[in-house]
Amino acid sequence: MLFRTVRTVMLLTTFFAMSMAMPIARGQPQPAPPLRLVVPFAAGGPADTIARELAQRLSPRLNRSVIVENRPGAGGAIGAVAVAKAAPDGNTLLATTSALVTTPALSSDAGYDPMKDFVPVSTSARAGFVVLASGQSRITTIAELVSQAKARQLSYGSSGTGTPIHLAAELIKRTLGISIAHVPYKGSANALTDLMGGHVDIAVDAVLTGFRAAGSGQAVAIAVTTEKRVPAAPNVPTIAELGYPGFEASAWYGLFAPTGTPATIVARLAEHTAAVVREPDFVAKLQALGAETYVVQGESLSRLVRNETVKWGDVIRGSGIKAN
């Protein structure tokens, strides 16, 4: 009798505890899935650097984890296509550069349309480029680059065919009146590795990451493509001041969502991205890398994409650049 009573009490206690716990469990909010920032270039490059700076600051604002996923190749097209085909639920964004418009302008087989397949979220930064010479090339100035290019065959590495870095390099070649063989890589980090190893003579890279290579002692920064000298490297001259007035080239960095992503989600992501870009430590970080904060959103960003599609399309056709 006592056994049955104890057993009954235990069963009732267990049932009561479960009945009290179940509504609480059902009412608990489920954790949001990670927000993926797909970078269509190799880790260590400028787009990757910006994405990682954004990710660590967006995470606490969105109250969810934000991870960076590198999907390099085809001048940024592989990563862009992956995001274009992703579910438009706000869980996957493309963290890219101006390559978003230059790659399709280069080839109709890019696999995506920058206007039709993406919804603009926000830009975050803008930066010029730096011309780097391998320490083994014995080139330390633009004048020496011009002289050696006319005396022998030089090669230069870029982050990929049709990327903003490639187009900036071609514009530099045309401006200086020289010919240098192009060696495309799956991201600027790979190009810089070969530059420092002496496998290519020159590399053009975003100032965001290019100055790191120069700091290694295995490469020399010989010029920047910005209108004015970069505060992070005040001793490096601009191409414009070296006898080529008016020369300027730069790239922007931004986030895009797959077409069909709800406007409310896009607006929230844009709001928090703009807030991150205004944070003093983010501003200081970009300035230390030689870049500047740059926020364009909504229709203004759509217009920027349309205008640059036309601009870089003209440059590509004028330069005779062909997809690999």
Q: Which pLDDT does position 130 carry in this prediction?
A: 96
Residue 271 in contact with residue 90, Cβ under 8 Å? no
- Looking at residue 187, the DSSP 8-state letter turns out to be S
Q: Which pLDDT does position 22 carry in this prediction?
A: 44
- Who contacts 75 (Cβ-Cβ below 8 Å, separation ≥6)? 99, 102, 103, 106, 110, 160, 161, 162, 163, 166, 184, 323
Rounded alpha-carbon distances, angstroms, from residue 210 to 45, 93, 147: 9, 25, 23
Q: Which pLDDT does position 11 carry in this prediction?
A: 44
Q: Which pLDDT does position 105 carry in this prediction?
A: 83
Q: Which pLDDT does position 46 carry in this prediction?
A: 86
Which ranges of the chain does DSSP label H, i.e. alpha helix?
2-27, 46-62, 77-84, 99-106, 142-151, 164-176, 188-196, 207-215, 263-278, 280-289, 298-319
Q: Which pLDDT does position 9 carry in this prediction?
A: 42
What are the residue ranges in the chain where pLDDT is below 70? 1-30, 323-324
Residue 181 in contact with residue 143, Cβ under 8 Å? no
Place of tokens 């991205």: 273
Phi (first) and psi of residue 222, to 5 degrees: -105, -15
Q: Which pLDDT does position 301 carry in this prediction?
A: 96
- Looking at residue 238, the DSSP 8-state letter turns out to be B
What angle in degrees, to the nearest 10, is found between the helix axes of 298-319 and 164-176? 50
Q: Which pLDDT does position 162 carry in this prediction?
A: 77
Q: Which pLDDT does position 20 carry in this prediction?
A: 41
Give just the sign of the alpha carbon dihedral 221, 224, 228, 232. Answer: negative
The SS3 of residue 205 is strand
Domains within the chain, CATH numbers bracketed: 35-126+251-319 (3.40.190.150), 128-242 (3.40.190.10)
Q: CB-side exposure of 165: number of CA atoms within 13 Å?
A: 38
- Looking at residue 74, the DSSP 8-state letter turns out to be G
Q: Which pLDDT does position 106 carry in this prediction?
A: 83
